Amino acid sequence: MRRLVRETRLDPAQFILPLFVCPGKGVRHEISSMPGNFQMSVEEVVRECAEAKSLGIGGVILFGLPEMKDELASGAYAEDGIVQRALRAIKQEISGLLVMTDVCNCEYTSHGHCGKIVDGDVDNDETLKWLAATAVSHARAGADIVAPSDMMDGRVGAIRNALDANGFPNTPILAYAAKFASVFYGPFREAAESTPQFGDRRSYQMDPANGREAMREIELDLEEGADMIMVKPAMPYLDLIYQARQRFDVPLGAYQVSGEFSMIMAAARNGWIDCERAMMESLTSIRRAGADFVLTYFAKPAARLL
């Protein structure tokens, strides 16, 4: 009877698995704060994608660790950058898997900020050029969806124009539309080696206290041409997922971020919480709040359980 009257269901097709691509061969380095998640070289990522596909997972999102970081984030938009190479390999070997890319600079800059530093501060408009170039290079390498996560103003419009001008009018943009300056990204920054070397991201990511502003950020991204929107993190912001669901009739994602995953894993490893139940309850709550799909480090174990 419970099954019959259940209002919210989970399906592996609603999960997106984040993957971290690094240089080298045969590299599969576990991220200590994110058990079961790895920095992987290209051929390992291809294997992971094959597994994701066989589990019926909705898709993957790629993050890159370049050989070299510099002031100009060159690795982000290089034609043979790490994500671009991974995309080509995945697309050559696996068909029918949705592959998204995270479009941002923090993994590629020596200072770890998401944009170009001019006079000690992130220059919003200069950064748009890098983001547009990165998105086009991803599309060229085979990305099915590009997902800007930098939170610069105007980036969705800049990326849309660049994609259209370069022959990719059909490549959709998933905007990390309401992304907060959150402490819960901590483990990710270990995984992606992207901790800012000075200051923090509060001048471009949102204040966790601001819900109305979140709706305005989403509205702006939609006006600029976003095809799908996202709220991030997920569990501490279920109210905003719910509000976004009520207000906007576009596909809505939520990112259950690294810290949300690591907290559950840490408690489970201590024997303080039941891992499987916490995983499924957290994912169900995010879907119940209104997210159509969830970016989650639980994608594989949850899909297996389903």
Q: What is the dihedral of CA 181, 186, 190, 196, to 10 degrees?
A: 40
72/74 Cα distance (integer angstroms): 5
Candidates 46, 89, 114, 145: give the one binding ligand PBG (CB under 6 A). 114
Q: What stretch of H or E contains 131?
A: helix 124-141
CB of 288 to ligand PBG, least distance (A): 21
Verify binding: residue 134, ligand PBG, rule CB under 6 A.
no
Stretch that binds ligand PBG, among 8-16, 48-56, 98-106, 268-276 (CB under 6 A): 98-106
Verify binding: residue 84, ligand PBG, rule CB under 6 A.
no
CB of 246 to ligand PBG, least distance (A): 25
**Residue closest to ligand PBG (Cβ):** 188
Cα–Cα distances in angstroms (integers) from residue 266 to residues 188, 269, 271, in the given order: 15, 5, 9
Set 69, 116, 232, 300: catalytic member: 232
Verify binding: residue 104, ligand PBG, rule CB under 6 A.
yes
CB of 102 to ligand PBG, least distance (A): 5
Q: Which two tokens stand for residue 3?
A: 């099954």
Amino acid, res. 114 = C
Stretch that binds ligand PBG, among 46-54, 102-110, 123-131, 152-160 (CB under 6 A): 102-110
Closest-CA residue to 107 (of 218, 179, 26, 185): 185
Candidates 257, 279, 291, 303: give the one binding ligand PBG (CB under 6 A). 257
Residue 140 or residue 189: which is nearer to ligand PBG going by CB? 189
Verify binding: residue 258, ligand PBG, rule CB under 6 A.
yes
Q: Which two tokens stand for residue 42?
A: 């290209």
Residue 168 or residue 188: which is nearer to ligand PBG going by CB? 188
Question: What's the longest Cα–Cα distance across the chain?
Answer: 63
Reply yes or no on whether 179 is catalytic: yes
Closest-CA residue to 132 (of 155, 111, 150, 152): 155
Stretch that binds ligand PBG, among 20-28, 48-56, 99-107, 121-129 (CB under 6 A): 99-107
DSSP 248: -
43/35 Cα distance (integer angstroms): 20
Footprint of ligand PBG on residues 135-194 (CB under 6 A)? Answer: 149-150, 185, 188-189
Q: What is the dihedral of CA 293, 294, 295, 297, to 10 degrees?
A: -140
Residue 114 or residue 141: which is nearer to ligand PBG going by CB? 114
Q: Which two tokens stand for residue 22?
A: 């690094």
Residue 224 or residue 260: which is nearer to ligand PBG going by CB? 260
271/288 Cα distance (integer angstroms): 27
Footprint of ligand PBG on residues 275-304 (CB under 6 A)? Answer: none
Size of the site for ligand PBG (CB under 6 A): 12
Q: Which residues lie below 8 Å from residue 216, measured CB to CB, with a gap of 6+? A: none
Residues that bind ligand PBG (CB under 6 A): 102, 104, 106, 114, 149-150, 185, 188-189, 201, 257-258
The residues carrying an active-site annotation are 179, 232
